[in-house]
Chain A
Amino acid sequence: MIQAILVFNNHGKPRLVRFYQRFPEEIQQQIVRETFHLVLKRDDNICNFLEGGSLIGGSDYKLIYRHYATLYFVFCVDSSESELGILDLIQVFVETLDKCFENVCELDLIFHMDKLLLLNSPLSSLETVVSSLHGGEGSVTRVKDLYCCRSQRTESCTGKEVHYILQEVVMGGMVLETNMNEIVAQIEAQNRLEKSEGGLSAAPARAVSAVKNINLPEIPRNINIGDLNIKVPNLSQFV
């Protein structure tokens, strides 16, 4: 069983927190912090396994992580999972992210680090992507400038989508699917369905978000028009 999946950046900012066992929010944050400190200390060229110990659930559990540029992907698993298997799974997950957001150019950068160096923008990273998936613009603007035109599309991606992808890979702490093509197919089908419904941020909202960026002063939020609830008669009328 997978007990938790954590994604955070080099500064310990959580990018995705998914527990399959109930912990109160404070404890969750504490676990993220402690995990971050544990992982941070480790060089990139040492092994990817960590005995979590007291962190979650005791000695049966292990932390298995991978570090991509500025992002850490940490899985906390018990002894029923194969260590190398989970490492592969993380790879699958990251590559799926890559595939699902292929219009997001930054991800390409991670998989082509050599080109990246040529561009002399060492800060570019997956983090940019995932944080932009969360809706923000990455802290790194240089990369954004380079790929300005394309990254505008990232606006359509939001943080929940990373969760949705994860949900197709792991369900309730158990591995659901490891075939990347299958995962991508399901994600795309669901996105199409969402699109056909108009999505959450339909056209008007987007127009407005542009306006908002001008930093208007406080706008009266409650225009009280009174209670206009029209009571719908409860009993059906036949005959």
Chain B
Amino acid sequence: MALKMVKGSIDRMFDKNLQDLVRGIRNHKEDEAKYISQCIDEIKQELKQDNIAVKANAVCKLTYLQMLGYDISWAAFNIIEVMSASKFTFKRIGYLAASQSFHEGTDVIMLTTNQIRKDLSSPSQYDTGVALTGLSCFVTPDLARDLANDIMTLMSHTKPYIRKKAVLIMYKVFLKYPESLRPAFPRLKEKLEDPDPGVQSAAVNVICELARRNPKNYLSLAPLFFKLMTSSTNNWVLIKIIKLFGALTPLEPRLGKKLIEPLTNLIHSTSAMSLLYECVNTVIAVLISLSSGMPNHSASIQLCVQKLRILIEDSDQNLKYLGLLAMSKILKTHPKSVQSHKDLILQCLDDKDESIRLRALDLLYGMVSKKNLMEIVKKLMTHVDKAEGTTYRDELLTKIIDICSQSNYQYITNFEWYISILVELTRLEGTRHGHLIAAQMLDVAIRVKAIRKFAVSQMSALLDSAHLLASSTQRNGICEVLYAAAWICGEFSEHLQEPHHTLEAMLRPRVTTLPGHIQAVYVQNVVKLYASILQQKEQAGEAEGAQAVTQLMVDRLPQFVQSADLEVQERASCILQLVKHIQKLQAKDVPVAEEVSALFAGELNPVAPKAQKKVPVPEGLDLDAWINEPLSDSESEDERPRAVFHEEEQRRPKHRPSEADEEELARRREARKQEQANNPFYIKSSPSPQKRYQDTPGVEHIPVVQIDLSVPLKVPGLPMSDQYVKLEEERRHRQKLEKDKRRKKRKEKEKKGKRRHSSLPTESDEDIAPAQQVDIVTEEMPENALPSDEDDKDPNDPYRALDIDLDKPLADSEKLPIQKHRNTETSKSPEKDVPMVEKKSKKPKKKEKKHKEKERDKEKKKEKEKKAEDLDFWLSTTPPPAPAPAPAPVPSTDECEDAKTEAQGEEDDAEGQDQDKKSPKPKKKKHRKEKEERTKGKKKSKKQPPGSEEAAGEPVQNGAPEEEQLPPESSYSLLAENSYVKMTCDIRGSLQEDSQVTVAIVLENRSSSILKGMELSVLDSLNARMARPQGSSVHDGVPVPFQLPPGVSNEAQYVFTIQSIVMAQKLKGTLSFIAKNDEGATHEKLDFRLHFSCSSYLITTPCYSDAFAKLLESGDLSMSSIKVDGIRMSFQNLLAKICFHHHFSVVERVDSCASMYSRSIQGHHVCLLVKKGENSVSVDGKCSDSTLLSNLLEEMKATLAKC
């Protein structure tokens, strides 16, 4: 032993500490990795030693290395060892390392359960604190389940330091173990009114976090939060609450109305920018939720916009950013009020700060109109050119596309301009958004029929200059554009000016360097192009020309046949065979063009992305049913139900067999037209035929089609989008003139006809007619599509599990294994009175409307009275400036008497319940235990079932699992009761302060009056004194820090200082209170006797068997023993009883013999050996104080005798 110690300290002398490690790393800049791996080897050696200080030092160094990116999961077990050190210094290091490196996948994490539980109940608040902090970082579902109850107990710890940590960690527990939310919620709510501001803030924090995810469950807390908001001065809490209201108002517009005034007051009064900003944000949320148009609300909007403008104009960039951020929220509902600040926002586009530019971009989205779209996009395009850094440029690109394509290209008046913008965008280098541009090109070309000719000419130019796009060495996303270009050229080849030229461009050898999926599209569209060329040539009678094209195909296609990409290869070889066949036919002078082009006859319509999903399942069709019983697995693949895809096939005429002769085609086309005419989703040409593309002479002057092939360096022949801006202006001007003329004429007519409702001659958006025939075909949806929009929800959302109705009373099955009184507390909490706003709010709304309609002209007072019947009284009646107190139900005098009798009835019930409780609950417990034991068997871990009765029952599981029911027990014993109040109490020792015990007294109001001014006076004895607030004398009562409305119970804690703990003692006390009801107030008293048993001075302290053995070996313990006969209870339950009532923990158990340990608040060790005989139990005890031991054994005897 001694040698070993020496060895340890020698080794320690040469250990590096953290400082040395850091210094070493600094000094080995050249070979850092090597140095660190050497250090890790050293650490591994250190971890093998028994000296905990060495281990802690090693773990400390590992934590540092973890920060540098080294995986330290291999040391998880050592970390646990350090966590379980008794010294705070080491424990802290261990928990820190654990919090940095443990996660749900760490397998040894299950070994920590007992250690953490032990630390949570540690007498030192910092041990507990460190454990809570650590746990908050690595809590797993198992840990959460097992420790939920322990943490919940800590929520009412005497130290605010622990309380606030316990409250915060509950959020993590809820996330991992959602079942705990309902049982724990009442206590969490209680903490909202905790005297300590830190705890209060923590509770607000947790509830806000919960409510953010599932706001509707927390609506009922609105009055409470409202009260906090008007009373709190802590900006942190205020911000959180105000943010929470922002999440709640969309669900309850009336709440918004109530909020607006206090919030605007805050906006005017506060000096804290953060608070001001959040207020503005929430006011915006309120305004969004309210139906707009009310005059007084437009004032609030103005206020918000004003304040935001001040923020945006501030020199502080942070405020500017936030101002823009909030502005974008207003934009959605009140675009007009934001649009007036367009100057400011455009100015922000030029800001040097990227974040601010991005926010300004967001705002632009809502600022565009038909009038200014071109101008704004032009500005953005100059930004694109200037922008350094691809991220911002990409952002600009997506924004341009977003702005232009928003609400079905609503603001685009000239699609030629848009196409040229898209083409210009393709010149961006290194953008990631090639596919986006491609998608837009396809979308526009398909949906705007009139633009196809122009689009095709642009795309063929793109294809021609493809080498520019694809040549850059890094394969950037821009070549995606070629995908669109190739498809458009192929599909609409009839519009091509020089199809032959384009065909050659698509067959260049360089194309094979493109990505596979683009090549595949090339191959496919080459054939389309080929088909249309053939047709042209044959119609023109140029048989030779046709053969030349075929020859070109035969020559060039083989390069694709060799492609490594399967898709390309397959398509190419298929087509090559086809072309070769055509060549043969051509040689025989057979006309082939008709048949070839029939391959691609028909037109494609855009289909909505969700269309397939929305095809309703026909009645009587069970998609899951087998059509044929599967013979084997491999065959089942082929047995797909064809019928489902039938409709789709029809919509893709591409796949139509080529035999379809023309007649058939014509017939089908006719049918489709018919169908389109009947289809409400199919939008026909715009109702302004006078503004057809062909009719606008301006556009024809654009030199778009002349493609200059001799200048390959610049993308040839592509028009600059800027030209369009001018042209567009001219066009509009002309249009306006025309219109004015017409209008004048009309006016003249009108004057004659004396009609006078013509519009004023202002140029509104609607007056600007699009240059092209905007034939935007909306995406097709299947007929009878189901109008569901549920596909947006993510089923994997972890917060979904927390969507739990908190107003529903707790069911038996949901309770955490917690002590009894809380259950009664929750079931009787006043929350029952608060209605489930969700359900009930709908009715009142309707009511209100009716009222308004009927009684608008009548007195408003009446309306108010009627509304007051509403249970949502708080929301509707109280005028905002004077927040009324919580709506305590005020019973009338008649009801009062009823209530009294009821209260008595309840009393009886309560007693009955007490007895009943033993019977129904154990079953569930047992059930639960069984389950746990089963899982435990699987995992072979030493996890404990939750529940404080078994808190230290770890070794019990070593024995055979006895599945016998354990009666649930409460450590709270009845203190005194009368018709007003029932007092139960629990006495807990605490090691934090020497010789102090905490008495938790639960007061339950069982009358119908409000209990106020409660005071507790206790007669101190020589040995035991109550800790009183400073300055109060021994004879003064100590006030109870709360009032009790009818039916509510609450817990108060008092600390007593005990001199000698070797004997039990009793203290006399009186509870005085004022019971107030409608009839008046009466002073009442209730006497009680506090019984401090010796067991209550003991604290459950786990002990390891080796330490236990050492303790016994030391031999300075006195001994005593008892024996109790006539016991039929199982040994396991017996141990559980001793653990629970006398605060012992089981050290070890072998068959029907167990050793147990506990410690007193003054540090006495108490050891027990419990043996079970046939019908008897013998308990041998050893303790450092003989009187304490004998008294303890006496108490134990009394407990055992009841078994």
Contact indicator A16/B67 (Cβ below 8 Å): yes
Distance to closest chain A CB from B383 (angstroms):
17
Contact indicator A236/B1155 (Cβ below 8 Å): yes
Contact indicator B318/A1 (Cβ below 8 Å): no
Contact indicator B88/A186 (Cβ below 8 Å): no
Distance to closest chain B CB from A47 (angstroms):
4
Q: Which of B271-279, B728-736, B881-889 contacts its partner?
A: B271-279
Q: Which of A102-110, A120-128, A145-153, A224-232 contacts its partner?
A: A224-232
Contact indicator B96/A136 (Cβ below 8 Å): no
Q: Which of A48-56, A67-75, A111-119 contacts its partner?
A: A48-56
Distance to closest chain B CB from A94 (angstroms):
17
Closest B residue to A167 using CB positions:
B133
Contact indicator A171/B358 (Cβ below 8 Å): no
Contact indicator B353/A47 (Cβ below 8 Å): yes
With contacts A46-B353, A84-B277 taken as known, whether A237 is within 8 angstroms of B1109 at the C-beta atoms is: yes
Interchain CA distance A210-B1 in the complex, whole Å: 29
* Contact residues in B for A29 (Cβ distance below 8 Å): 68-69
Interchain CA distance A137-B24 in the complex, whole Å: 11
Contact indicator A234/B1106 (Cβ below 8 Å): yes
* Contact residues in A for B57 (Cβ distance below 8 Å): 200-201
Interchain CA distance A223-B198 in the complex, whole Å: 52
B136 at the interface (CB under 8 A from A): yes
A95 at the interface (CB under 8 A from B): no
Contact indicator B126/A189 (Cβ below 8 Å): yes
B7 at the interface (CB under 8 A from A): yes
* Contact residues in B for A174 (Cβ distance below 8 Å): 168, 171, 202, 205-206, 209
Contact indicator A212/B133 (Cβ below 8 Å): no
A160 at the interface (CB under 8 A from B): yes
Contact indicator A200/B53 (Cβ below 8 Å): yes
Contact indicator A171/B14 (Cβ below 8 Å): no
Interchain CA distance A131-B89 in the complex, whole Å: 21
Interchain CA distance A86-B69 in the complex, whole Å: 26
B910 at the interface (CB under 8 A from A): no
* Contact residues in B for A14 (Cβ distance below 8 Å): 67-68
Contact indicator B69/A236 (Cβ below 8 Å): no
Closest A residue to B53 using CB positions:
A200
Distance to closest chain B CB from A199 (angstroms):
6
Interchain CA distance A155-B17 in the complex, whole Å: 11
B874 at the interface (CB under 8 A from A): no
1/0 per position for B96-135, CB-CB distance to A under 8 A? Answer: 1000100111000000000000000000101001001100
B943 at the interface (CB under 8 A from A): no
* Contact residues in A for B20 (Cβ distance below 8 Å): 135, 209, 212
Q: Which of B58-66, B483-491, B520-528, B893-901 contacts its partner?
A: B58-66
Contact indicator A238/B1180 (Cβ below 8 Å): yes
With contacts A225-B7, A238-B1112 taken as known, whether A159 is within 8 angstroms of B22 at the C-beta atoms is: yes
Distance to closest chain B CB from A174 (angstroms):
5
Contact indicator A179/B198 (Cβ below 8 Å): yes
B536 at the interface (CB under 8 A from A): no
Closest A residue to B65 using CB positions:
A25
Contact indicator A158/B18 (Cβ below 8 Å): yes
Of A17, A49, A176, A239, most B-chain CB atoms within 10 Å: A176
In the complex, chain B residues 11-27 whose Cβ is within 8 Å of any chain A Cβ: 11-23, 25-26
Contact indicator A43/B70 (Cβ below 8 Å): no
Contact indicator B168/A232 (Cβ below 8 Å): no
Interface residue tally on A, bucketed by range? 35 or more
Interchain CA distance A14-B229 in the complex, whole Å: 40
* Contact residues in B for A45 (Cβ distance below 8 Å): 317
B161 at the interface (CB under 8 A from A): yes
Distance to closest chain A CB from B66 (angstroms):
7
Distance to closest chain A CB from B434 (angstroms):
18
Of A82, A178, A222, most B-chain CB atoms within 10 Å: A82
In the complex, chain B residues 339-395 whose Cβ is within 8 Å of any chain A Cβ: 352-356, 358, 389
* Contact residues in A for B1155 (Cβ distance below 8 Å): 236, 238
Closest A residue to B68 using CB positions:
A14
Contact indicator A49/B355 (Cβ below 8 Å): yes
With contacts A171-B169, A212-B14 taken as known, whether A25 is within 8 angstroms of B1109 at the C-beta atoms is: no
Contact indicator B103/A22 (Cβ below 8 Å): yes
Contact indicator B164/A176 (Cβ below 8 Å): yes
Interchain CA distance A193-B126 in the complex, whole Å: 9
A214 at the interface (CB under 8 A from B): no
Of B20, B22, B57, B1112, most A-chain CB atoms within 10 Å: B22
Interchain CA distance A193-B129 in the complex, whole Å: 13
Distance to closest chain B CB from A202 (angstroms):
8
Contact indicator B19/A155 (Cβ below 8 Å): yes
Contact indicator A49/B19 (Cβ below 8 Å): no
Distance to closest chain B CB from A214 (angstroms):
13
Contact indicator A135/B21 (Cβ below 8 Å): yes
Contact indicator B165/A136 (Cβ below 8 Å): no
* Contact residues in A for B4 (Cβ distance below 8 Å): 225, 228
B621 at the interface (CB under 8 A from A): no
* Contact residues in A for B10 (Cβ distance below 8 Å): 223
Closest A residue to B101 using CB positions:
A25
B320 at the interface (CB under 8 A from A): yes
Q: Give the top 3 A-B pairs by smallest Cβ distance, nearest first.
A: A172-B136, A135-B19, A84-B274
Additional pairs, 10, CB under 8 Å, beyond known A190-B92, A236-B1169, A238-B1182: A46-B354, A80-B212, A177-B164, A182-B198, A198-B89, A201-B57, A205-B17, A225-B4, A234-B1106, A236-B1167
6 contacts between A and B (CB under 8 A): A159-B64, A171-B133, A174-B206, A197-B89, A200-B90, A219-B14
